[in-house]
Amino acid sequence: MFVLAIIVLALITALFVKKDYSIEREVTINKPKSQVFEYIKYLKNQNEYSKWAKMDPTMKKDFHGTDGTPGFVSAWESDRDSVGQGEQEIKKITEGQRVDYEIRFIKPWKSVAQSSMTTDSLAENQTKVKWNFNSHMPYPMNLMCLFMNMDKMVGDDLQTGLNNLKALQEK
């Protein structure tokens, strides 16, 4: 009876826990906006700076379409649960400004997230790059948001990727 009460309490609590979350990080790169954007619009280049792309050097990668254009898909598969299986697709490019992605996670659990990278010119040779990640945690899985700091977990990974991007661009 006690276990059942705990389960019921958890399910009721999950009704009041937010299901959507949005995370954003940014970095300033000392290079012109056109040069930075020309690099980030190619999804394959994320393999050089994204923390997630570097988590398993032996993961299988597959690409479909023309990189740097909407519809291009980068797929991955790993035996490591921390990497799993999924694919990322370029959904829209606003030339010189923004790239929108859809990330479809397949394993270890299915979910879909939206992501984008934007560039803003701060000066002739200085560009602010923002990387954001938006997702939804369905009921009752959203209860995990009470115990996991998604902003820190995902945000730290985004920031690592942006810092790597900065180092590559400023080399």
Q: How many domains does the chain have?
A: 1
DSSP state for residue 141 in the 8-state scheme: G
The answer on pLDDT for 166 being more than 80 is: yes
Q: Which residues contact 126 (CB under 8 A, 6 or more apart)?
A: 28, 29, 30, 31
Return mean pLDDT, the chain.
Answer: 89
pLDDT band at 31 (very low <50, low <70, confident <90, very high): very high
Domain around 62: 2-169
Which spans in the chain are helix H? 2-14, 33-40, 46-49, 150-169
pLDDT at 11: 65
Condensed to tens digits (0 to 9), the pLDDT of residues 93-107 reads: 999 999 999 999 999
Instruction: Between 11 and 47, name the one with better pLDDT.
Output: 47
Q: CATH code at 46?
A: 3.30.530.20
Q: Are 128 and 136 in contact (CB under 8 A)?
A: no
> What span, in angstroms and rounded, lies between the C-alpha atoms of 54 and 31?
24
